[in-house]
Structure formats: structure tokens, C-alpha cells
């Protein structure tokens, strides 16, 4: 086959001049061979050609005559010296790290291992993996007009809805059966109408980059449903497309449809580890191209990988090739796929310099100066499993952070656990104690997320029930800070159901009426249960899917959630750009039920559970509207009713804004609030 030297950049397979330029990185390889396939079912490649040129650590070559649709992979020669961190094995077909389309996902087989199955990882496995490994496909460089800027909805107006592409529509009766579980199904009219009616501004999708399920799941007939096991960082997951061969085009069309409706698309990305696992894992791509360059190895024993992720490996962001891979991937999803932002799984890994964490590291500097990425929303899960890994509050602007303290402090306030009322007040005020020197929007507030109980299960289960995961119920997060209110699991007792409903309403009200950016877990508004499973990562079935049937949807609760979102949107006092009482922000006082401001003694008193928050803004000299605006929030986490003596604003000034039922009544400056309830008054 005729080959030319080609160009070292861009990396991956690039169409040009009636052929394709191939370029891959390897600092320690001695030979890189391109393998071409005629079909995804082929046992072996039909042609092999060595990349003829090396520029620095990039191997490259141009192959004339190759067109869109060509299937390919690589074989890489080099030292097999595990004790030095090198695991080259020419017998393993490798996936291009920059593949934009993956035509075949690997199938678990002993040939995927660089060592002999059942032996130590230093042994040599000469089985050829060509029939079992992943295969990439050459595709067009650009799908549509590049998107330079996202919608850029202001953070103080943002309401995030976290969901799963497949689980959102698999059981939706109004979505075309052929489109259920797909990108196209997610962008269908019934789903978009639901999200708009709910008041969502931004949908946040669990990982959509191509994934590969772990071996133990495959053996048990399960899959990595959540997708936090990335195989390819540029290719959309093909099983989420109605036409897998056109997954990228379908994903881009989905994003365009959301943009037409004025909603952002944020995707969850996993740049902390890959699907290759620890040293006993398969050789699929990065390990075979250059294990020592891509992964963070132990300094005293490069054979062993650092496991700051709990999944076996950790990408080494200190390495320029890894930093470039992440930046190139983000730019591709932002510009070519049009996404508006990213949520980074275990984001502390991005700051790792071995055992140390550097929050001013080069990766963060790179993102801040990038002309495309600096305008996108950046959300960190601010922890990993390594030393100094819990870094909530340490990420700097423009980053926002998942606030796990919000979840825990709000849950414990409503379940009656030992956390203080002061902790709850801090979370409702925007967590200025955590995000010092920043703004309330630094906090992504959530009560529930994909990892953990659904909202219905928070008030229905006190213990995890993860037997379906086949891990002896040992997996899943604890403590859950949940309460079953008298019976574990479903109940027909009216008193238990009433308490559960009140607490569920109180929890979602706390979320949506707090300062900061609220995130709703998809399905919570419908009353979705996972039957007590708090780690449904491997459940691609009704445990995880949203149930849209009329018998399953809690219509009253859905209407209530819509009311609360509307109340938040209609009350700017609840979403301030600066912390309360700061210059340029709303003024605030935490209010005692007896009609006075809370004191230090009140906050220290463990029996002072009932509390109110008075918010108001003074008229601006530049504003046409010269009237003050007031809002008053009341929280009663006890099971007994209470009465608030309201701040005096004049007779008849206050009116009930939420809820619209008999849980709250207002007469002559006194507000009566039933137990386990939240109320919002406005003036």
C-alpha cells in the first residue's frame, strides 16, 4: 500500500486530499502499524501498514484513497517491561484514542489481556485480539456549522435537570418506540414539553462518550448503565442512537433541538480514569499505546497504577499528551457537538500531581485561556479517593461545584438527625462559609443525584437494597441521611404516606428556594423509585428508567414541583448574584418564630429547629420601580404545627406564594405552618 509521511497534527484520523492522515502519540513505542478492516465481523485486518514517520512522539502517515467509513485500528511494538511501566504488545489491536466513531465495541475475551489470564500481570499473552477488540471508523471532520459560543444562560437563572439519555425515554408512551432510549427520543416533543413546563433551563446528561462495561458485570449479565467507564473520548455512545452508525450526527441534532427550545445541554465527562482498569485490566487503547505516559504509576513501582478513582487507574494529567487529549476532547464536544458545559466526574484528579493536589495547576490555566472552553459552564465533582482528595470549595472561578454538604445538611435537617439548624441556614443562604470570596452560583445544590437514593426513596428507605447489583448488598454510598417515617419501603398507612409526602415537598422546596444553582434529579418530579437501590449503576432496566405511565406518575407532586420552580423564577430574591447582605445583594435576616431576629444563643440551641428567613431589596436610585420587595421563607422540620410572628410591613402586606393548600394560613401578621412543611410569603 502506498503511504506518505503525512502530518503529525491533528491527532487521529483526518480526511484530506483524497485520503486520510493518521497520527497517534507514543513516547516509548518502536513501531506503530495501521490495521484496516473490511467489516466489523472480520476475524483479522485485511491490510497492515507501518506509519512511516515520527515527529517527536507522534507517529503519522498519509494513506491515499481511503474514504469515509473505513474501519481501522492499530498495533504498537515496544518493550513489554511491566516492572518499568511498559506494556506494549503487538498482538493487541488498539483503538485510536481520537476515534470519532467506534464501529465495534470490544467483547470480553482472554485475548484482550496483555498477560495470560489467571497468571501474574508480568506474563506475556500472544493471543491476537483483532476479532474481539474495538474498531474505529473514519468519519467526516465536521458534522455541521461549529458552535463558537453556547447559550450562556446566566448562572442565577439556571435550573439543572440531571438525567440519562436512555433511561429518560425507555418507558415513555408518547415517544416513538423506535426512538425510545436514544438521543432523538430525548429531543422529542413530549420530553421537551415536559422539561419546559417544569422550568428547566439546562439538561445535564450522564456520560455520553463511548463506554465499555467491566468484566464482572458482563459475566453477571449486567452493564455499566451510568457510563462512567470511558472507552473513547470523542465518540458518542452508539447504543444511544436510533442509527448507531450516525450517532454523532444524531447527538448534534439533539443539541440543536434543545437550543431551539432555549435549553442548554451539559454532559458528564470522565477524565479521571478509563475503561482499562488496573494492571490486571484489558489492553484496549491507552495502555497499549503508552501505559507509562497515559497513566499515573507509583513512583517506587511503575508496575502498579495509582487508584485515586476506585476504578483501578488514574489518568496522569501532568503529562502533556493527557492534557492535550482532554482539551481536544472538550473542544470537540463544545464546538462540533455544540454542548454548553461539562460536569467533571472526580474532578480533583485534574489537579493531581501524584500524591499532591494543585488547585492552580496547568490544566485549569489551560481551560481559562481557551477561547472556546472559557465560555462554557464548568462543573466539578470536587473530590476523588486519593490523599487530600475532598476539595469542596477549592475550585476557583469560573468553576462551579457539586455541593455534597448541601445534600447532607438539608437532608439531616428534615430527618431530625444531629446536624444543626445553623448548618441548614448556611446551605439555604448559598454556602458562603464554603465558597469564601466567590458567589452563590459557585454552589450546585442538590438533594439527590444519579448516585444514591431517588427523592421518593429518601423518605421511604433507611437502608440500601442493592441485591440486584449482585454484590451482596455491600456496594453503595452510606450514610444515606434518609428516613422511612415508620415503615421500610412502600406503605399503605395514611399517616406514614402523609409524613413522607410532606418531607418530600419540604426537601424539593429547600432545594429550589435556596441561594445557589439547583439541580433536580430526573424522575424525582414524577415520584420515581429505585426500590431502595442507591447504586443503580449497572441496572439498565425499569429500576433506573423513568416510568411515565399514569399509574406511576405522582401528578400532585409533579404539579407542586412546577409551582416551586415557578415561584423561584418569579422571585429574584431567591437567586442572588452575590451572597446575602453583601453590597449589591439582597438584605436578609434569619427570623425566630416569636417575631425577632435569631441570636447566637438561638443557633447554639439544639431545640431551636423552626426558623424563618426574611429577604428584601431596597429600591435602587436607577430603578423605575421605587418599592421595596420582600420574601419570607418558613421552615418547620418538626411534626408539630407552629406559628410565626411576621416582620411588620403593614396590614395585609404579606400574601402566601407557596404552597397553595391548607398547610399554611395567614391572619393579622401571624402565619400558621403545619409540621414538616415549608412556606414562602411575599410582599
In a 13 Å sphere around the CA of 89, the CA atoms on its Cβ side amount to 30
381 belongs to the catalytic site: yes
Collapse the DSSP code of 110 into the 3-class scheme (helix H, G, I; strand E, B; otherwise coil) and give the result.
helix
Considering the candidates 276, 290, 328, 381, report the single residue annotated as catalytic.
Answer: 381
Which triple of cell numbers denotes residue 468? 440486584
261 belongs to the catalytic site: no
Work out the burial of residue 415: count CB atoms within 10 Å of its CB; fewer than 13 is exposed, 13-18 middle, 19 or more buried: buried
Q: Cα–Cα distance between 510 and 678 in angstroms, integer? A: 8
Angle at CA of residue 546, ends 522 and 183, nearest 5°: 75
In a 13 Å sphere around the CA of 282, the CA atoms on its Cβ side amount to 28
Q: Cα–Cα distance between 168 and 198 in angstroms, integer? A: 15
Please state the φ and ψ torsions of residue 54, each to the nearest 5 degrees: -130, 120
- My answer on whether omega of the bond before 677 falls inside 30° of 0, hence cis, is no
Runs of H (alpha helix) within 440-493? 455-458
Runs of H (alpha helix) within 145-246? 165-169, 183-186, 189-198, 215-219
Considering the candidates 336, 345, 401, 525, report the single residue annotated as catalytic.
Answer: 345
Q: What is the dihedral of CA 550, 556, 557, 559, to 10 degrees?
A: 100
In a 13 Å sphere around the CA of 514, the CA atoms on its Cβ side amount to 34
In a 13 Å sphere around the CA of 313, the CA atoms on its Cβ side amount to 30
Q: Cα–Cα distance between 227 and 213 in angstroms, integer? A: 8
- What amino acid positions are annotated as catalytic residues? 345, 381
Amino acid at each position: 500500500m502506498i503511504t506518505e509521511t503525512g502530518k503529525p497534527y491533528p491527532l487521529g484520523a483526518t480526511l484530506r486530499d483524497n485520503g486520510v492522515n493518521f497520527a497517534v502519540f507514543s513516547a516509548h513505542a518502536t513501531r506503530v502499524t495501521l490495521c484496516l478492516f473490511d467489516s466489523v465481523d472480520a476475524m483479522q485486518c485485511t491490510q497492515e501498514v507501518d506509519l512511516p514517520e515520527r515527529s517527536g512522539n507522534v507517529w503519522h502517515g498519509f494513506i491515499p484513497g481511503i474514504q469515509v467509513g473505513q474501519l481501522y485500528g492499530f498495533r504498537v511494538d515496544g518493550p513489554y517491561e511491566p516492572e518499568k511501566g511498559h506494556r506494549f504488545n503487538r498482538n493487541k489491536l488498539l483503538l485510536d484514542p481520537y476515534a470519532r466513531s467506534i464501529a465495534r465495541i470490544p467483547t470480553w475475551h482472554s485475548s484482550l489481556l496483555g498477560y495470560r489470564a489467571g497468571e501474574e500481570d508480568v506474563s506475556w499473552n500472544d493471543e491476537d485480539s483483532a476479532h474481539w477488540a474495538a474498531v474505529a471508523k473514519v468519519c467526516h471532520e465536521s458534522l455541521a456549522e461549529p458552535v463558537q459560543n453556547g447559550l450562556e444562560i446566566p448562572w442565577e437563572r439556571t435550573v439543572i435537570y440531571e438525567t440519562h439519555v436512555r433511561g429518560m425515554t425507555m418507558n415513555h408512551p408518547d415517544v416513538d418506540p423506535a426512538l425510545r432510549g436514544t438521543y432523538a427520543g430525548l429531543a422529542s416533543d413530549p420530553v421537551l414539553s415536559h422539561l419546559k413546563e417544569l422550568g428547566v433551563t439546562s439538561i445535564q446528561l450522564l456520560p455520553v462518550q463511548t463506554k465499555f462495561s467491566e468484566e464482572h458485570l458482563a459475566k453477571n449479565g449486567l452493564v455499566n448503565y451510568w457510563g462512567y467507564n470511558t472507552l473513547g473520548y470523542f465518540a458518542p455512545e452508539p447504543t444511544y442512537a436510533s442509527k448507531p452508525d450516525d450517532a454523532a450526527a444524531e447527538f448534534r441534532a439533539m443539541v440543536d433541538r434543545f437550543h431551539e427550545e432555549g435549553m442548554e445541554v451539559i454532559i458528564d465527562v470522565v477524565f479521571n480514569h478509563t475503561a482499562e482498569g488496573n494492571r490486571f485490566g484489558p489492553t484496549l487503547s491507552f495502555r497499549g499505546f503508552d501505559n507509562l505516559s497515559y497513566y499515573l504509576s507509583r513512583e517506587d513501582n511503575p508496575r502498579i497504577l495509582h487508584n485515586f478513582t476506585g476504578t483501578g487507574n488514574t489518568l496522569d494529567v501532568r503529562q502533556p499528551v493527557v492534557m492535550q487529549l482532554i482539551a481536544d476532547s472538550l473542544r470537540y464536544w463544545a464546538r462540533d457537538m455544540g454542548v454548553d458545559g461539562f460536569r467533571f466526574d472526580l474532578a480533583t484528579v485534574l489537579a493531581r500531581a501524584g500524591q499532591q493536589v494543585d488547585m492552580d495547576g496547568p490544566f485549569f490555566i489551560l481551560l481559562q485561556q481557551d477561547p472556546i472552553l472559557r465560555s462554557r459552564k464548568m462543573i466539578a465533582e470536587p473530590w476523588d479517593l486519593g490523599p487530600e482528595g475532598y476539595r469542596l470549595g477549592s475550585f476557583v472561578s469560573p468553576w462551579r461545584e457539586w455541593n455534597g454538604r448541601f445534600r447532607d445538611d438539608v437532608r439531616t435537617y428534615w430527618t431530625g438527625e444531629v446536624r444543626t439548624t445553623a448548618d441548614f441556614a448556611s446551605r439555604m443562604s448559598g454556602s458562603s462559609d464554603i465558597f469564601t470570596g466567590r458567589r452563590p452560583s459557585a454552589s450546585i445544590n442538590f438533594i439527590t443525584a444519579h448516585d444514591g437514593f431517588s427523592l421518593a426513596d429518601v423518605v421511604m428507605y433507611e437502608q440500601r437494597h442493592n441485591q440486584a447489583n449482585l454484590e451482596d448488598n455491600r456496594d453503595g454510598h452510606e450514610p444515606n441521611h434518609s428516613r422511612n417515617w415508620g415503615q421500610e419501603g412502600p406503605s399503605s398507612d395514611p399517616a406514614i404516606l402523609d409524613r413522607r409526602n410532606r418531607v418530600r415537598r419540604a426537601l424539593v422546596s429547600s432545594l429550589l428556594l435556596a441561594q445557589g444553582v439547583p439541580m433536580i434529579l430526573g424522575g424525582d418530579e414524577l415520584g420515581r423509585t429505585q426500590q431502595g437501590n442507591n447504586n443503580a449503576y449497572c441496572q439498565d432496566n425499569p429500576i433506573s428508567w423513568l416510568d411515565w405511565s399514569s399509574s406511576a406518575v405522582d401528578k400532585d407532586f409533579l404539579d407542586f414541583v412546577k409551582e416551586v420552580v415557578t415561584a423561584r423564577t418569579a422571585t429574584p430574591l431567591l437567586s442572588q448574584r452575590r451572597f446575602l447582605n453583601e453590597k449589591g445583594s439582597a438584605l436578609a435576616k434569619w427570623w425566630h418564630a416569636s417575631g425577632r431576629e435569631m441570636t447566637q444563643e438561638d443557633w447554639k440551641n439544639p431545640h431551636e429547629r423552626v426558623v424563618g428567613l426574611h429577604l428584601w431589596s431596597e429600591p435602587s436610585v436607577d430603578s423605575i420601580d421605587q418599592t421595596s420587595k420582600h420574601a419570607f421563607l418558613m421552615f418547620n422540620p418538626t411534626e408539630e404545627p407552629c406559628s410565626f410572628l411576621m416582620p411588620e410591613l403593614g396590614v395585609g402586606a404579606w400574601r402566601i406564594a407557596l404552597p397553595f393548600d391548607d398547610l399554611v394560613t395567614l391572619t393579622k401578621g401571624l402565619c400558621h405552618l403545619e409540621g414538616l412543611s415549608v412556606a414562602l410569603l411575599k410582599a
